[in-house]
């Protein structure tokens, strides 16, 4: 039996329809947004410095990259959000997110843990009108770590009883007495932020580092340089108890909660831990009544923390709203580590010195 061979014509496929110009651009934009969102979430993100709380380590007008890889990126808590936004849609006051539902917060493994004196970006913990991962970004130095005992005496920070070395760039407010009126140029030439200079008595109050103080004392028309004594009002600093008589320069001792550590809950200790337990520990039914802590309707006289906490301070110690005033930063509010400045602009600069060229690509220390 012979097999018949059929000479079949090859199937003709329809030519692939070319994408329209609008479709090609749409796909490219979508890919760019997705890629940028992943990079921003998991690797590095750009920030700018708007306030002088970290001078002279970081200056107003610095643009820096913050690494999410060092401490590990956080999984999103608020998934319903316009990509590449934070709290509002660009150029408007329209919220860029919906908090219709929230997810648990997890952190992927990182290169390192937060260390003493790291410069850290975190979400401002007491900002209750935004979800935790969309609260305003703050940048400060990690002075106290989980489990530390922190104390400040006459502006000197002590951690677990040992003095924490002061950085060269740390600033305090000083009163300088002079026999003449000082020009704006005098302050700008010494990198003193003019916006923060105050006329006071027979001189000025300025923010200055120890090195600048030594320079000012050598000038013959400066008659006196002294630390400016201005104490906080009673109950102004954390935990807002007037009877403690603490202030920004004399504070503590204070225990910084650590994950797994158990503390006694008494009428005296509760004010130190109350906000953390009620607002940061994700307890479904926790309340304070008549100076007592209740969890699931039962009074508890001890509490075991579910996460680590940190104590943050600005390097411009007398011009910084930090943990001395609002308390601990929870671990799930930590965003990342500041690594380097990629651009810096000087608000007081002119045409040729608007850019601080010496700060470009400088590391954050």
pLDDT tens for 245-272 read: 899 999 999 999 999 999 999 999 999 9
Sequence-distant (6+) residues with CB within 8 A of 45 are 65, 66, 68, 335, 336
pLDDT (0 to 100) of residue 12: 58
The neighbour count for residue 14, using CB atoms within 10 Å, is 5
Please give the distance of CA 302 from its chain centroid, rounded to a whole number: 30
Residues 186-203: what's their mean pLDDT?
93
Tens digit of each residue's pLDDT (9 = 90 or more) over 130-175: 999 999 999 999 999 999 999 999 999 999 999 998 888 999 999 9
Residue 92 zone, left/alpha/beta (φ > 0; ψ -120 to 50; rest): beta
pLDDT (0 to 100) of residue 32: 86
Alpha helices in 141-209 (DSSP H): 184-189
Tens digit of each residue's pLDDT (9 = 90 or more) over 175-193: 999 989 999 999 999 999 9
Rounded CA gap, 329 and 2, in Å?
87
Instruction: For residue 111, give the DSSP letter.
Output: S
- Cβ proximity of 160 and 149 under 8 Å: yes
Residue 231 banded pLDDT, cuts 50, 70, 90: confident
pLDDT (0 to 100) of residue 80: 93
Residues 218-223: what's their mean pLDDT?
94
H/E stretch holding 304 reads: strand 302-304
Residues 344-359: what's their mean pLDDT?
92
Tens digit of each residue's pLDDT (9 = 90 or more) over 316-345: 999 999 999 999 999 999 999 999 999 999
Say what percent of the chain tops pLDDT 70: 95
Say what percent of the chain tops pLDDT 90: 79
Of residues 356 and 40, more confidently modeled: 356
Nearest to 150 by CA among 312, 316, 268: 312
Asked whether the predicted pLDDT for residue 237 surpasses 90, the reply is yes
Rounded CA gap, 186 and 208, in Å?
14
pLDDT (0 to 100) of residue 30: 84
DSSP letters, 40-74, are HHHTEEEEE--SGGGTTTS-TTEEEEEESTTT-PB
Q: Is this model's pTM higher than 0.85 or not?
A: yes
User: Starting at the edge strand that comes first in sequence, how are the strands of the sheet with 222-227 ordered?
Assistant: 198-200, 203-208, 172-178, 222-227
Whole-number mean pLDDT of the chain? 92
Residue 119 banded pLDDT, cuts 50, 70, 90: very high
Instruction: For residue 144, give the DSSP letter.
Output: E
Measured CA angle at 261 (ends 258, 264), to 5 deg: 120
What separation in angstroms does the CA of 103 have from each of 74, 96, 137, 259, 283?
11, 17, 20, 21, 15
The neighbour count for residue 217, using CB atoms within 10 Å, is 11
pLDDT (0 to 100) of residue 3: 46
pLDDT (0 to 100) of residue 92: 92
Rounded CA gap, 16 and 189, in Å?
67
Residue 84 zone, left/alpha/beta (φ > 0; ψ -120 to 50; rest): left
- List residues bridging with 226 in a β-sheet: 175
């Amino acid at each position: 039996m012979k097999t018949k061979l059929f000479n079949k014509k090859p199937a003709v496929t329809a030519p692939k329809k070319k994408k329209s110009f609008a479709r090609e651009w749409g796909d490219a934009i979508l890919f760019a947004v997705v890629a940028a969102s992943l990079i921003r979430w998991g690797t590095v993100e750009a920030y700018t410095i708007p306030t002088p709380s970290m001078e002279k380590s970081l200056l107003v007008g610095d643009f820096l990259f913050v690494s999410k890889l060092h401490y590990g990126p956080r999984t999103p808590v608020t998934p319903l959000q316009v990509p590449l936004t934070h709290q509002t849609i660009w150029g408007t006051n329209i919220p860029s997110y919906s908090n219709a539902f929230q997810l648990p917060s997890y952190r992927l493994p990182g290169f390192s843990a937060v260390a003493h004196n790291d410069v850290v970006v975190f979400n401002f913990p007491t900002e209750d009108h935004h979800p935790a991962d969309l609260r305003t970004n703050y940048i400060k130095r990690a002075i106290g770590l989980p489990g530390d005992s922190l104390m400040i005496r006459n502006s000197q920070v002590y951690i677990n009883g040992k003095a924490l070395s002061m950085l060269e760039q740390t600033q305090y407010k000083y009163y300088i007495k002079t026999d003449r009126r000082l020009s704006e140029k005098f302050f700008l030439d010494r990198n003193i932020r003019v916006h923060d200079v105050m006329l006071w008595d027979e001189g000025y109050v300025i923010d200055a580092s120890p090195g600048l103080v030594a320079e000012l004392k050598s000038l013959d028309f400066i008659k006196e340089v002294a630390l400016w004594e201005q104490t906080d009002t009673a109950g102004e600093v954390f935990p807002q108890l007037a009877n403690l008589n603490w202030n920004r320069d004399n504070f503590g001792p204070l225990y910084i909660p650590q994950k797994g550590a158990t503390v006694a809950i008494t009428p005296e200790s509760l004010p130190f831990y109350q906000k953390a337990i009620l607002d940061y520990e994700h307890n479904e039914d926790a309340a304070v009544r008549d100076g007592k802590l209740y969890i699931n309707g039962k009074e508890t006289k001890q509490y075991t923390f579910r996460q680590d906490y940190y104590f943050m301070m600005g390097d411009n110690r007398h011009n910084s709203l930090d943990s001395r005033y609002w308390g601990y930063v929870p671990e799930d509010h930590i965003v990342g580590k500041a690594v380097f400045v990629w651009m810096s602009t000087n608000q007081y600069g002119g045409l040729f010195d608007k850019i601080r060229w010496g700060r470009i690509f400088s590391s954050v220390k």
